[in-house]
Amino acid sequence: MQFLGQVMEYVLERNDGVLNVVGATSGDTGSAAEHALRGKERVAVFMLSPQGRMSAFQRAQMYSLADENVHNIAIEGVFDDCQNLVKALAGDVPFKRSLSLGAVNSINLARITAQIVYYFWAWLRATDAMGPTEVSFTVPSGNFGNILSGFWAKRMGLPVRRLVLAANENNVLDEFFRTGIYRPRSAADTLATSSPSMDISKASNLERFIYAVVGRDAARVKELWADLDRQGFFDLSAEQPRFESEFGIVSGTSTHADRLATIKAVHEATGEIIDPHTADGVRIAREHVEDGVPMLVLETAKPQKFAETIAEAIGVELDYSPELREMLAAPQHVTELPDDEQALRAFIEANALRAPGR
C-alpha cells in the first residue's frame, strides 16, 4: 500500500491532477490505505467501514488520523454494504469522471500487482536451502484479493503447488471452492466474528478468477453475474474439479473455537502470538500439508489489534507501546452515514478535491 501511495502521487504530479480515492474496509486494509495516503496534496481518501464491526484498535488506527485529506465514513451495515456503495459510485462513469474518483485496496489492480512480488520473495526464501521446488501458500481470505495475487504469481510460472483459502464462519468462498456454487449471503446473515477483517460475504475479486475459469470470456462472466442478481447464486459445479486440478486452489473453514485453540497451540509450541486471522490460516493449512512441500501461511495482522481474543486464548494481556497507547486515547474523526448512496454522494461532493479547471 505504501508503494501504491507513492505511485499515485508521482503520476498525479506529472499530470497535474487530483484523485479522490473511495474505498471500503472490513478492518485492516483501510488503515493501511489511509496511512499510505495521509498528507498527500493531490489525493483525498474516503474510506467506508461498517459501524460496530471492527475492533477498538482497528477503529483507532483509522479514526485517530486528523489529516485533512482523510475522511472516515462509518456506514450503517456490514462490509458488503460498504463495498456495494463503492461499486455503485465506480459504475457511474459521469460522476466518477467529474470528481476524479479512484479505487484503493484490492479493487485496485496496482495493489494486487504489487502483492505478487512477495509470493516470489517468499518462494525464494523458503527454497534457499533446498533449491527450486514447489511450495504451498495458505491465505486468510475475505475479499479474494491477496490470494488472487498468489493465483497470478502461479500463472506467471512461480512453482506453487497449492493455494489454500482459509475462511472464517462467513464461508461463502469455501462453499464455492468445494461445490462450485457461489451464493453470497445477505447483510443480515453475515456474521460478526473474532476475525472481523474476513467478515465478508461478497468477494469483489472473485470475478477476476472466474474470468480465468471461463477461458477469459467476458460475456460469460456477465451472464454469471446476471444469474447472481436474478436468483442469488450461480452454478459452476461442472468446473469445480478444475479449481484444484488446474488452478491449485483448495479451501477450508475455521471457527472461533478453532482460532482460540490454534493461537494457544502456536504460543505453547513457539512462544509466538498470532492474530485471529492468521490463526484461521494456520488451522486450515494443517489440513493441506504435504510431505516435501513447504507450507507458507501469510500472517495477517498484529495480535495487539485483537487483544480480547488473545486474552481469551492464552490468558495474556498484550502490552502496548507508548505510541499505540497514545493512538488508542486520541480523539477520533469519523462521519456516520446510513447505507444510502445519495448521502454518500453528497458527502463526497462536499469534500472532494477538484482538479484544476473543474
Q: pLDDT at residue 260 above 90?
A: yes
pLDDT at 340: 97
pLDDT at 319: 87
Tens digits of residue pLDDT in 276-290: 999 999 999 999 999
At residue 137, the 3 state secondary structure works out as strand
Domain boundaries, the chain: 2-107+322-351, 112-314
Q: pLDDT at residue 30 above 90?
A: no
Q: What is the mean pLDDT of residues 233-257?
A: 98
- CA 337, distance to chain mean position in Å, is 22
How would you write 255-323 as a 3-class SS string? Answer: CHHHHHHHHHHHHHHHCCCCCHHHHHHHHHHCCCCECCECEEECCCCCHHHHHHHHHHHHCCCCCCCHH
pLDDT at 204: 84
pLDDT at 358: 57
Tell me the three cell numbers of residue 25: 474496509
Tens digits of residue pLDDT in 116-163: 999 999 999 999 988 889 999 999 999 899 999 999 999 999 999 999
pLDDT at 5: 86
pLDDT at 110: 85
How would you write 322-333 as a 3-class SS string? Answer: HHHHHHHHCCCC
Given CATH 3.40.630.30, say whether it is the number of domain 112-314. no
pLDDT at 2: 84
Domains 2-107+322-351 and 112-314 belong to one CATH topology = yes
Beta strands in 131-205 (DSSP E): 135-140, 160-167, 181-182
How large a percentage of the chain has pLDDT more than 70?
A: 99
pLDDT at 103: 82
**pLDDT band for position 315 (cuts 50, 70, 90):** very high
The mean pLDDT value of the chain amounts to 93
Lowest model confidence (mean pLDDT) among 16-30, 216-230, 308-322: 16-30
Architecture of domain 2-107+322-351: 3-Layer(aba) Sandwich (3.40)
Q: pLDDT at residue 242 above 70?
A: yes
**pLDDT band for position 180 (cuts 50, 70, 90):** very high
Q: pLDDT at residue 34 above 90?
A: yes
pLDDT at 131: 83
Q: What is the mean pLDDT of residues 255-273?
A: 98
Tell me the residue type at 241. Answer: P
Distances (CA, A) of 192 to 30, 53, 77, 213: 18, 7, 11, 31
Q: What is the mean pLDDT of residues 313-331?
A: 93
Q: What is the mean pLDDT of residues 53-82?
A: 93
Higher pLDDT, 357 or 331: 331
pLDDT at 357: 58
Tell me the three cell numbers of residue 219: 460475456
Tens digits of residue pLDDT in 83-124: 899 999 999 999 999 999 998 767 788 888 999 999 999 999
At residue 189, the 3 state secondary structure works out as helix
Helix then strand then coil, in percent of the chain rounded to 5, is: 50, 15, 35
How large a percentage of the chain has pLDDT more than 90?
A: 78
